[in-house]
Amino acid sequence: MKKVLKWIAIVLLTAIVLVQFVPRPAKNESSEVGEAHISKVVEVSPEVSRILDVACMDCHSNNTKYPWYSRIQPVAWWLGDHIVEGKKELNFSEFGNYNAKRQQKKWKETAKQVRDKEMPLKSYTYTHPGARLSAEERELLISWAESHLRP
């Protein structure tokens, strides 16, 4: 039995080491703030900007601040997929390129998801404690999003 466990441990350890050599997904890093960026399209107060930066932009913009563990497989794959999915749902760097109907939908969804505490994701706030929104920050973000809704 000990021999079997030893071989299982060796195989697992070897697999963990080998998977580190598999190419990682392309990083989502850019310091550029283009003309379609949310801050160029609508008014964003300094406080809302701060909240967006710490709680939203890593997954919902073209500028992700990657943690140290993003260099370890399979975490890099999971993180890469998570960011791609987040940007597909809402990309603040491309918000100005959305048509009016899509922008309205995103304002509504943002307010609802923040109100329902669906965003930021719990998995994100575990590793980014600064992204945990206080009740006041949540209300500020909801009010900001709803202020852009058309009647």
Give one DSSP letter per residue of 60-123, joined into a string. SSS-----GGGGSTTHHHHHHHHHHHHHHH--TTSGGGS-HHHHHHHHHHHHHHHHTT-SS-HH
Q: Tell me whether residue 151 is in a domain.
A: no
Q: Tell me whether residue 73 is in a domain.
A: yes
Rounded to whole angstroms, the Cα distance separating 65 from 136 reads 25
What pLDDT is attached to residue 30?
64
What pLDDT is attached to residue 102?
97
Q: Tell me whether residue 78 is in a domain.
A: yes
What pLDDT is attached to residue 64?
85
Q: Tell me whether residue 67 is in a domain.
A: yes
Prediction pTM value: 0.77
Q: Tell me whether residue 111 is in a domain.
A: yes
- The total of structural domains in the chain comes to 1
What pLDDT is attached to residue 114?
98
Q: Tell me whether residue 33 is in a domain.
A: yes
What pLDDT is attached to residue 146?
98
CA 126 → CA 54, 92, 130, 134, distances in Å?
13, 23, 9, 15
Mean pLDDT by 10 residues, the chain (151 residues): 81 68 60 85 96 94 81 74 89 96 98 97 87 97 96 80
Q: Tell me whether residue 87 is in a domain.
A: yes
- DSSP assigned state of 59: T
What pLDDT is attached to residue 108?
98
Residue numbers of the domain that contains 76: 2-146
Q: Tell me whether residue 40 is in a domain.
A: yes
